[in-house]
Amino acid sequence: MTRIINAAETLVAESLAGFVAAHEDLVVFGHGAKFVRRRALVPGKVALISGGGAGHEPLHCGFIGAGMLDAACTGHVFTSPTPDQIVAAMDETDTGAGCLLVVKNYDGDVMNFEMAAEMAAGRHRIETVIVEDDAAYGPSVRSRGRRGVAGTVVVEKLLGAAAERGEGLAGLKALGEGLSGRLRSMGVALRGVTVPDNRRETFALGPDEMEIGVGIHGEPGLYRTGLAGADEIVRLLCAPVLAQLPPMAEARPLLLVNGFGGTPPIELHLAHGLARAFLRENGIVPARALVGTFVTSLDMAGLSVTLALLTPEEFALWCAPVTTPTLAW
C-alpha cells in the first residue's frame, strides 16, 4: 500500500511535529521533543501521563489539554515509548502533586512505564492505572490479561476531569481501578494493518471474511468468520460486552463507537444506531454516546464498540468541560 511519507524511520517524528504545529495553542513539545505536553500546566494538580506506540492516533497526543492528559509519550509505530521519555515527561509536568501514569495493558507498555516509575521514584510521587477493557479475552489472544483498547479514552477523560477538579493521587488511582470491571470493548476488522516498515498486512482476510476480537496493534482476534451484514456484526460485538458487565441499577451507560482508521463516518454512525438499538432491546439505554475515530490501528478497516457503566459521579466527570485537539466540549 502506498503512503504519504518520506521514510518509515522519520514518519513518527515528522507527524508529531506537524501535530504540535497544528495545535500550538494547546500543546508543545517537552524537552528534547521526547514527549508532547499541555502548554499551560496547572500548579498543584496531579500530572496525568500516558502514551504508547504511534499508529493509534489521535490516541494519546490528541487528548492532551484541560480536562484530560498533561503529557503523552509516543514510540515508533506499534512500539512502546522508552522509559527515558516517560521520566522526562514526569520531570517536566509534575507541579507538586505527583504523577499518575495511565497505561494500556500491553507487555511493552507496562514494562517501560514500570521501569520509568522505578527510575523516577526518588523525586516524584507516582501511581499507575492499567487499562484493560478488551472483551476479547481468551487463549488465542496474545497478551497477558485483557488488552487496553478504545476504553482508554473513557479512562483518560474521567481521570483528567477528576484531576482538574483537584483530586489527589490516591483518589485518582481508586477511580481508575474502580471503573475496570464496568468497562468493556470489542472490535472487528474487515482488513488487516499495513505497517510502514514492511508494507505488508499483519494478517490477511479474504473478501468475504472478518476477524472478531482484534486488538489495536494489528494482531488477529478470537476467531475468523464469514462477512456478515451490519446487524450481525454489531450483535457479535455487543453481546460479549454485555455478557461481561455486571448488573448496575444506577448506571449511566456510555456508548463509544470507535473507528480503527480505515472506516468512514457513514459506517460508524450506522453501527452506532444498530448498537443503540441492540442495547435498548437488552435493557440498556445509553445516557451519552461518542462516535468517531479515536483509537486507531493505522489503516485497519473495522470498528469497536465500548460500553461503560458509569456511576452518577463518573458520568458528571465525563460531561465535565474538556479542551483538547480531539475532544472539546
145, three cell numbers: 490479561
Alpha-carbon distance of 309 to 165, in angstroms, equals: 22
> What pTM was estimated for this model as a whole?
0.96
pLDDT of residue 143: 57
Q: What is the mean pLDDT of residues 48-72?
A: 98
pLDDT of residue 249: 86
Q: Which domains does the chain have, with CATH numbers?
A: 11-181 (3.40.50.10440), 182-319 (3.30.1180.20)
pLDDT of residue 174: 98
Alpha-carbon distance of 125 to 177, in angstroms, equals: 18
Residue 265 banded pLDDT, cuts 50, 70, 90:
very high
Q: Which residues are catalytic?
A: 56, 217
- Give the residue from 289, 303, 292 showing the smallest Cα distance to 252: 289
pLDDT digits (tens, 9 = 90+) for 108-144: 999 999 999 999 999 999 999 999 999 998 654 555 7
pLDDT digits (tens, 9 = 90+) for 91-102: 999 999 999 999
All residues at 6 or more sequence positions from 162 whose CB lies less than 8 Å from its CB, including other chains: 171, 172, 175, 317
All residues at 6 or more sequence positions from 239 whose CB lies less than 8 Å from its CB, including other chains: none
